[in-house]
Amino acid sequence: MVFIGLVGLLILSGCTGGTEAAHPQTPEFTAFAQCITNNDVLMYGSFTCLSCKKQRESFGATFSQITEIECHPNGENPQVELCLQKNIAKTPTWIREVDGKELGRLEGFQSFEALATLSGCTYPGPQN
């Protein structure tokens, strides 16, 4: 039980900051979010992490296209063991993994451009 408490504390204390305004919900942006998931990129997060909340908000309703792994033991559908196996020290952490091989990792709040680079997806950019 102490171990799980320490994991929760680690995840909570590992939160990293960042901001980006919510992206307008366009078909192109929705396709971008879907591409991130289709290209095997997962977000490891925690329901207690403010940076994770900001990352979700930056995607707006399109975040429903992103696959998030909950690392906090008290979160909904927690996958604490997986987070430990992946050495998640900060949330959010974005990992691209194909056939069991990690191809890239980003820690903390990420810009859409950084996620495009990690995933190999084309970011449509802000709509004017």
pTM to 2 decimal places: 0.82
pLDDT in tens, 72-110: 999 999 999 999 999 999 999 999 999 999 999 999 999
pLDDT in tens, 30-67: 999 999 999 999 999 999 999 999 999 999 999 999 99
Token pair 């204390």 is found at: 13
In a domain, 128, yes or no: no
Asked whether residue 115 carries a pLDDT value surpassing 50, the answer given is yes
Question: For residue 126, what pLDDT is reported?
Answer: 73
In a domain, 103, yes or no: yes
In a domain, 65, yes or no: yes
Mark 30-64 as b/e (b = at least 16 C-beta within 10 Å): bebbebbbeeebbbbbbbbbebbbbbbebbbebee
Query: Could you give the CA distance from residue 91 to residue 94 in angstroms, rounded to a whole number?
Result: 9
What number of other Cβ atoms are within 10 A of residue 91's Cβ? Answer: 32
Domain count, the chain: 1
Range of the domain at 14: 2-119
pLDDT in tens, 78-87: 999 999 999 9
CATH code for position 23: 3.40.30.10
Q: Per-residue DSSP letters for 50-113? A: HHHHHHHHHHGGGGGGS-EEE-STTSSS--HHHHHHTT--SSSEEEEEETTEEEEEEESS--HH
Read off the pLDDT of each residue in 14-28 and give the average, rounded to a whole number: 64
In a domain, 45, yes or no: yes
